[in-house]
Amino acid sequence: MKKLLIYISFAFRYINNYKLRAFLTIIGIVIGTASVIDVIAIGTGASASVLNQINSLGSNLLIISPGQAKQGSIQLGAGTLNSLTNNDFNSIENKVLAPEVLYVSASSSKGGINAIYKSNNSVVTLNGITPSFFVIRNITMASGSYITDSDLLSGRHDAVLGATVATTLFGSTSAIGKEINLNGNIFTVVGVANSVGSSSSFVNNDTQIYIPITVFQAMFSGNQYLNNILVEATSASTMTAAQNEVTQILLDNHHIQNVNNADFTVTSQTQILSTAGSITQILTILLSSLAGISLVVGGIGIMNIMLVSVTERTKEIGLKKAVGAKVSDILTEFLVESIILTFSGGIIGVAFGWLIVLFIQQVFHFSAILSINSVILSLSVSIITGIIFGLYPSFKASKLSPLEALKYE
């Protein structure tokens, strides 16, 4: 222990004598450590944000989407086939056929709709929905009422506005009871939703308008096809049963025997969460690996400086060996110096990374999450870097011949 303290004091004395060189040496470690911390913080924050957004879609959720349309032998992508209909929605709503389904909602949407009130206008996404949509999606009203079954049956031109749309069109005045123009069609505002922000599909729900799906199909889509059907299972434990019920209903409705030939997709919330979590984790690991390259670069810089240090201190090494210093003493002395340099760079890098995380949070309002694990990981990597890249210079110093070292000029 006493020897180690002596080695540490030697290292700090040398670093103090060459402050500028030491600082320039550890810059790579500082940047590398800060980069790793910030990438992990951003990745963790992004993952948490995506998972929260998915959870905000509703609990025990199943999303039924149309299948893939083909153009020749080319698949056009999921959701491009017109395969979901009002009849599918009605069948799933049947409690006899689907006892584990608590709520079901049909929806279709169309973007680029121009909403106008007097001199104010906003380009929105228009959603034709059934009343259960608001329950499944956890959308609450800031004022007014929801779309009702009565609206669907009567075909009333009622509309519920997202929070941003309401502010854009009406400012601070009440929108309830006012008439808006949607691509030349007049609708009466019956409700304004509370702000819910972006969904996991990165669509801002606050810039949308909701109308009865019967009116949407009659005036905007011109057909009975649905973009998707949302289903809420009776509980988390019945998700699989509900998914099986829904799948069987649609197979029967579409006269499909083999589920592998299904012209629809039923995705559970659990699957979405798992996929999103895996993607963000892979991206975080990839970006962290790229950021870690700067640690390697910093380590190479430290090795070069340590080699220069060995050359400069050749006579000193020879003198120490001449008075009885062992190979292990010289090796340990230089290795300790290398570790102190990289660890110091790691500490400064952690502080710098923390400041960057605060900057991101305050300026960009992004929830970057700095975890103790990322700090420990970065410091550990910086120390390992010091050991790895300090070994060769330390070994070279320890192997110098005392006689040759004392004669060196």
Are residues 96 and 217 located together in one domain of the fold? yes
Residue-level pLDDT at 84: 93
The tens digit of pLDDT for each residue in 228-239 reads 999 999 988 898
Are residues 228 and 136 located together in one domain of the fold? yes
Residue partners of 131: CB distance under 8 A and separation at least 6:
105, 146, 147, 148, 149, 152
In a domain, 69, yes or no: no
In a domain, 107, yes or no: yes
pTM strictly above 0.85: no
Are residues 28 and 109 located together in one domain of the fold? no
In a domain, 238, yes or no: yes
In a domain, 150, yes or no: yes
Closest-CA residue to 314 (of 380, 254, 396): 396
Are residues 32 and 96 located together in one domain of the fold? no
| Rg over CA atoms, the chain | 33
Are residues 308 and 243 located together in one domain of the fold? no
Are residues 285 and 317 located together in one domain of the fold? yes
Please state, in angstroms and as integers, the Cα–Cα distance from residue 175 to each residue in 57, 155, 163, 322, 382, following that order.
25, 21, 11, 91, 58
> Between 350 and 311, where is the model more confident?
350
Are residues 182 and 280 located together in one domain of the fold? no
Whether the CB-CB separation of 107 and 133 falls below 8 Å is answered with yes
In a domain, 70, yes or no: no
Are residues 42 and 97 located together in one domain of the fold? no
* pLDDT over threshold 50, residue 199: no
Are residues 214 and 128 located together in one domain of the fold? yes
In a domain, 269, yes or no: no
The boundaries of the domain holding residue 167 are: 84-262
In a domain, 64, yes or no: no
Which of 232, 262, 292 is at the close of a domain? Answer: 262
What's the domain count of the chain?
2
The tens digit of pLDDT for each residue in 43-66 reads 888 777 776 666 666 668 899 999
Please state, in angstroms and as integers, the Cα–Cα distance from residue 147 to each residue in 57, 58, 107, 173, 214, following that order.
18, 18, 13, 21, 11
Q: Which tokens sit at 272?
A: 């979405």
The tens digit of pLDDT for each residue in 11-26 reads 788 778 778 878 877 8
In a domain, 142, yes or no: yes
When pLDDT is averaged across residues 121-147 and rounded to a whole number, the result is 93
* pLDDT over threshold 80, residue 258: yes
The tens digit of pLDDT for each residue in 372-395 reads 887 888 788 888 888 888 888 888
Closest-CA residue to 285 (of 30, 28, 32, 43): 43
Mean pLDDT of the chain: 83
| Measured distance between the N- and C-terminal CA atoms of the chain, rounded to whole angstroms | 34
Residue partners of 1: CB distance under 8 A and separation at least 6:
none
Are residues 255 and 371 located together in one domain of the fold? no
Comparing 32-46, 156-170, 208-222, the range with the smallest average pLDDT is 32-46
Residue-level pLDDT at 94: 93
Residue-level pLDDT at 202: 46
Which of 227, 262, 297 is at the close of a domain? Answer: 262
Are residues 252 and 378 located together in one domain of the fold? no
* pLDDT over threshold 50, residue 73: no
Are residues 387 and 339 located together in one domain of the fold? yes
Q: Which tokens sit at 3?
A: 């020897």
Which of 262, 295, 327 is at the close of a domain? Answer: 262
